[in-house]
Amino acid sequence: MKERRKIELSPRILLIVLTVICIVMIVISAMFKRAAKPLSFITGTFIVPMQDGINSVGVWLDDYFDSFESMKELQQKNSTLTEKVNELTQANEELKANQSELDELRALLALDQEYSQYKKVGARVISNGSNNWYRNFIINKGSDDGIQVNMNVIAGTGLVGIVTEVGRNYAKVQSIISDESSVSAMSVTTSDTCVVKGNTEKIQESGMIDVKYISKDAEMNSGDELVTSHISSRYLQGIRIGTVSDIKIDSTNLTKSAQVTPVVDFQHIKQVLVIMELKEVPRDADTVD
């Protein structure tokens, strides 16, 4: 009995045991994606409220110090006006996008959709990821507020990302700048489609991310606005992404690639809007994103 205890207490044995546990967990979670679900429910109930609390204290402090500089009234007015401007810019963008396609679409489908009519829900970013490497974040609204996986997330006038995981009171958002993200996009003026691919390295160096698979014959120009495209399976059409630049032909001579500067300032996202609508596509639809 005494000897067994000695074996149990040796740090090396503990190292081996914990390593084996780690490997088993990695294998299980890689094989069964749902295996970690109950665990994240527990953390969701215990830790998200804490993060939320700290965050609201922070927001309160922010507001408090802000009010020293300017009158509260002005601040409120300013925020509503900014909202209005954002809304109008978005609407304008959509109108521009619609204008170039309007005749064509009317003739074909009599499509009559108003993109600014989407129902949106405001949410606060409560955690910016666990480290400085990972560009996805957590918001304080979850399935209780009707959030579902694959809902689009915007901030101001631009696309931020998409909901990838939903808990009861939180949701994880994959931002469009993260390496895993790819968004089917198109140019507002020429309707050329392309794919906006996240790139965590480039966003740090130059504040831009990649645009790929532009057709060789596309007439897209530097300075064009990119919006989410009509052929995307997960992103609603017409949400602004950014301004395209640096278009050049690929070495394969089949496609062109470019860079896009996102309209959203990803370093300072505090509030986001979740669009409470999912794009409806056939289940086996084959699209780039």
User: Of 60, 67, 83, 134, which one interacts with another protein (CB under 8 A)?
Assistant: 134
Site string for another protein, 157-196 (x = CB under 8 A): ----------------------x-----------------
Position 127 contacts another protein (CB under 8 A): yes
User: Of 45, 47, 144, 219, which one interacts with another protein (CB under 8 A)?
Assistant: 47
Position 45 contacts another protein (CB under 8 A): no
The identity of residue 113, as a single letter, is: Q
Q: How far apart are CA 135 and CA 287, in angstroms?
A: 24
Instruction: Please name which of 182, 191, 180, 170 lies closest in space to residue 98, comparing C-alpha atoms.
Output: 191
Position 88 contacts another protein (CB under 8 A): no
Q: How far apart are CA 89 and CA 74, in angstroms?
A: 22
User: Of 67, 150, 204, 222, which one interacts with another protein (CB under 8 A)?
Assistant: 204
Phi, psi values for residue 63, rounded to 5°: -60, -40
Q: Which is nearer to another protein, 22 or 95 (CB)?
A: 22
Q: Which is nearer to another protein, 58 or 122 (CB)?
A: 58
Site string for another protein, 221-260 (x = CB under 8 A): ----------------------------------------
102 Cβ contact partners less than 8 Å away, ≥ 6 residues apart: none
Q: How far apart are CA 121 and CA 227, in angstroms?
A: 21
Tokens of 192: 């050329």
Task: Give the nearest distance from C-beta 174 to another protein in angstroms.
Answer: 11
Position 261 contacts another protein (CB under 8 A): no
Position 271 contacts another protein (CB under 8 A): no
User: Of 75, 100, 200, 243, which one interacts with another protein (CB under 8 A)?
Assistant: 200
Q: How far apart are CA 57 and CA 69, in angstroms?
A: 19
Q: How far apart are CA 177 and CA 185, in angstroms?
A: 14
User: Of 24, 88, 95, 111, which one interacts with another protein (CB under 8 A)?
Assistant: 24
Task: Give the nearest distance from C-beta 39 to another protein in angstroms.
Answer: 5
DSSP assignment letter at 144: G
Are 91 and 116 in contact by the 8 Å Cβ rule? The answer is: yes
Instruction: Please name which of 41, 56, 40 lies closest in space to residue 125, comparing C-alpha atoms.
Output: 56
Q: How far apart are CA 208 and CA 41, in angstroms?
A: 35
Which stretch, 91-99, 200-208, 242-250, 278-286, contacts another protein (CB under 8 A)?
Answer: 200-208
Tokens of 11: 């740090």
164 Cβ contact partners less than 8 Å away, ≥ 6 residues apart: 136, 149, 172, 173, 174
Position 284 contacts another protein (CB under 8 A): no
Which stretch, 40-48, 223-231, 255-263, 272-280, contacts another protein (CB under 8 A)?
Answer: 40-48
Q: Which residues bind another protein (CB under 8 A)?
A: 9, 11, 14-15, 18-19, 21-26, 28-30, 35-36, 39-40, 43, 46-47, 50-51, 54-55, 58, 126-134, 136, 138, 179, 199-201, 204-205, 267
